[in-house]
Amino acid sequence: MVSDSFSHIRGWVFDLDNTLYPPEIRLFDQIEQRMTAFLMQELKVDQASANRLRKQYWATYGTTLAGLMQCHGIDPDPYLHEVHDIDFSVIAPDPNLRDRIAGLQGRKIVYTNGSRDYANKVLDARGLSGIFDAVYGVENANYRPKPERAAFEHVFAQDGIDVSTAAMFEDDPRNLAAPFEMGMRTVHVAPQSHASPFIDHHTDDLTAFLTLLGK
């Protein structure tokens, strides 16, 4: 049974985007548009070039921001404020998900490659505020992004979470490699499964999966 493999878990780490809300909301579409606009303005490039660089930096460095910092020395804070200034009204509260997460035994945190302020706004719109023990953004990892193991280690050290008794829920498969290597139980949350040795479980419905745990 699925619940048996989580019997030792006392720490619950959740990614934010496309994990704590369904991808069909397409919230990240708004962010990508603002990323492209930011690149066009700051780098003085056209839209096609900005989109190409945005995707290239994400693939190479883990986030567009990491690429901008590495290649152009961009100040991260204005960027994070600009790209996350979006419409949150498209997000609907999910009381069932709230109940399932709130009922988990142990420490519960959110860790995102977005900013902490943005994460809190998403949680508020989703009706999930107040049920997590802590919320961490990319700034808490010194702006180093998942999937870098050092980013995970930095955040987890701040939090004090015991990775040997923790689980990671994440929509991006590459962001589960480091948690798996660190000894965490890993859950891929996405519409399509992804065959990988560092994914323990897959679900396309986070609420339903948490229900299976019987926590």
Kindly report the CATH number assigned to the domain that includes residue 74: 1.10.150.450
Calpha distance 206→128 (Å, rounded): 14
Compute and round to an integer the Cα radius of gyration of the chain: 17
**Would you state the pLDDT for residue 62?**
87
Number of domains in the chain: 2
95-111 pLDDT, tens digit each: 999 999 999 999 999 99
One domain for residues 6 and 71: no
One domain for residues 109 and 135: yes
Q: Residue 46: which region, alpha, beta or left (left: phi > 0; alpha: psi -120 to 50)?
A: beta
**Would you state the pLDDT for residue 214?**
75
Q: Residue 18: which region, alpha, beta or left (left: phi > 0; alpha: psi -120 to 50)?
A: left
CA dihedral 196, 193, 28, 91 (to 10 degrees): -130
CATH of residue 126's domain is 3.40.50.1000
Reduced DSSP (H G I as helix, E B as strand, rest coil) percent helix, strand, coil of the chain, to 5: 55, 10, 35
- Quote the domain boundaries for residue 45: 27-83
C-alpha closest to that of 67 among 46, 52, 81: 52
**Would you state the pLDDT for residue 152?**
98
Residue ranges in the chain whose pLDDT is less than 70? 215
**Would you state the pLDDT for residue 1?**
77
One domain for residues 69 and 133: no
One domain for residues 135 and 151: yes
DSSP-assigned letter for residue 11: E
Q: Which residues of 27-66 are buried (b: 16+ CB within 10 A; e: fewer)?
A: beebbbebbbebbbebeeeeeeebbebbeebbeebbbbbb
**Would you state the pLDDT for residue 215?**
56
One domain for residues 55 and 123: no
Calpha distance 172→177 (Å, rounded): 10
Calpha distance 120→117 (Å, rounded): 5
Take residue 148 and report the two structure tokens written for it.
Answer: 């870098």
